[in-house]
Amino acid sequence: MTRMGTARTVPHHIAIVMDGNGRWATKRFLPRVAGHKKGLDALRACVRHCGDLGVKVLTVFAFSSENWNRPADEVSGLMELLAAALSREVPQLQAEGVRIHFVGDRSALSDKVRTGLAQAEALTAGNHRLVFNVCFNYGGRWDMTQAAAQLAARGEAITELSLSRAMALAHVPDPDLIIRTGGELRMSNFLLWQAAYSELYFSDKLWPEFDAAAIDKAIADYGRRERRFGRTSDQVAPTAPRTTRKAA
């Protein structure tokens, strides 16, 4: 994005690492998959709240390229959750004007799931209220590699613009705000290219507990940030009183 200066109160694009489902379940002596089910409830509420607030793009990390290394029952539980979500949630998303995109490597998914993803995308393709990107079997390194491979196959020069256009999130502007729940302070291979100028927000709350009030708090924090995109504070907000400016 090229917007500069104080962050707009409501970010255009929010991206979320929904961490902490496993710990939420373990604390309650439940299987980890129960935490992911509760995480899906939190995600449903989050999509609705973001739409109501006027957020235009929401991108979530639902399954990483590295999550295949988890115990087999957890991997199959997440695949079943995705399949169930496709049939149960998509009609509601359609009713709410949400356009869904699945972002990631689909080659490892079953034919049935792949067909479901394509049908959900086709059904919601005419919606404009909120673009909802679900990153599934996604990794930032995978994305950069597949984009470079596309350009190489077409014999195109690699530039920032050509690479950006070949990336899996080329249909949306870069995220303004990236939220990670669950108390960890890392990116975990999420949106490595697109995060260049995103504001980062970390919460100790576990994802199933990250409710509308927690989203509002993250957005309020974002509203206090000064976005400089490499410029100085004076260039970005030349009339602002010095005491309100943040250190570089």
- Minimum CB separation of residue 77 from ligand FPP in Å reads 9
Q: Which of 21, 41, 52, 67 is catalytic?
A: 67
Residues near ligand FPP, by CB under 6 A: 18-23, 36, 39-40, 43, 62, 67, 78, 81-82, 85, 134, 182, 207
What is the rounded distance in angstroms from the CA atom of residue 167 to the CA atom of residue 67?
21
Of 134 and 163, the one with the shorter C-beta distance to ligand FPP is 134
- Minimum CB separation of residue 62 from ligand FPP in Å reads 4
Of 62 and 178, the one with the shorter C-beta distance to ligand FPP is 62
Query: Is residue 189 annotated as a catalytic residue, yes or no?
Result: no
- Residue type at position 113: V
- Minimum CB separation of residue 195 from ligand FPP in Å reads 18
Query: Is residue 174 annotated as a catalytic residue, yes or no?
Result: no
Of 89 and 226, the one with the shorter C-beta distance to ligand FPP is 89
- Minimum CB separation of residue 32 from ligand FPP in Å reads 6
Cα-based torsion angle of the residue sequence 198, 81, 99, 129 in order, rounded to the nearest 10 degrees = -70
Q: What is the 3-state secondary structure of 139-177?
A: CHHHHHHHHHHHHHHHCCCCCHHHHHHHCCCCCCCCCCE
Of 103 and 147, the one with the shorter C-beta distance to ligand FPP is 103
Active site residues: 19, 67
